[in-house]
Chains A and B, each alone.
Chain A
Amino acid sequence: EAGVAQSPRYKIIEKRQSVAFWCNPISGHATLYWYQQILGQGPKLLIQFQNNGVVDDSQLPKDRFSAERLKGVDSTLKIQPAKLEDSAVYLCASSWPQDTQYFGPGTRLTVL
């Protein structure tokens, strides 16, 4: 079984620039999550999708972050404009329908 795929693996941008991350969940997994993990901390949920609908985005900074999951499969997370404090690893995870989550390798974002 293929795992959760993410790209890019690393991204370096300057503050105020835009960036987008892509996630392809495990085939058949209806639930998709985006997490932000700052160095030395646990993952913090940004947004949770059930198929292509948003279940929880209460911790998503909506003034600069957006996410979509068209067709209920792949998802993209965008930051526009980026701030220094956005430097973190962005993890995507999927599960069916809730319960055990499988994580992707993450995208390490550095904002200069």
Chain B
Amino acid sequence: GENVEQHPSTLSVQEGDSAVIKCTYSDSASNYFPWYKQELGKRPQLIIDIRSNVGEKKDQRIAVTLNKTAKHFSLHITETQPEDSAVYFCAASRGYSSASKIIFGSGTRLSIRP
């Protein structure tokens, strides 16, 4: 069935360094790829998303890249700060199709070392 694999499961980086989280998806019809940040005990919050008609999207310190041929997409966080510590989930869906569902990755626990 449809699947989204996410790596690594845990990531620790020095404050100020960059962090990269990678995901691969199996459904070639997927065209919408959101990233969610979930702090401890809180709800997942959308931080950035990308659609299949673009290869890269950036929002301040956060960027996402998409390679449709290889069916993988990545989250890049630059100049990491302590408040970036959280669990990050990638997801994939067919977007506007009413018959589609969103599949989440298993999450990456990011820790920022001071």
Contacts and interface: CB of A to CB of B under 8 A. Distances in A.
A41 B93 contact: no
B98 A97 contact: yes
A56 B89 CA distance: 21
A100 B89 CA distance: 14
A49 to B, nearest CB: 11
SS class, residues of chain B in contact with chain A? loop
Given A98-B93, A98-B94, A98-B98, 11 more contacts: A42-B89, A42-B105, A42-B106, A44-B104, A45-B102, A50-B98, A55-B98, A97-B96, A99-B95, A101-B34, A104-B43
30 contacts: A33-B102, A40-B107, A41-B106, A42-B6, A42-B104, A42-B105, A43-B44, A43-B104, A44-B104, A45-B103, A48-B101, A50-B98, A55-B98, A55-B101, A56-B99, A91-B43, A97-B96, A97-B98, A98-B32, A98-B93, A98-B94, A99-B32, A99-B96, A100-B49, A101-B34, A101-B46, A101-B102, A103-B44, A104-B43, A106-B43
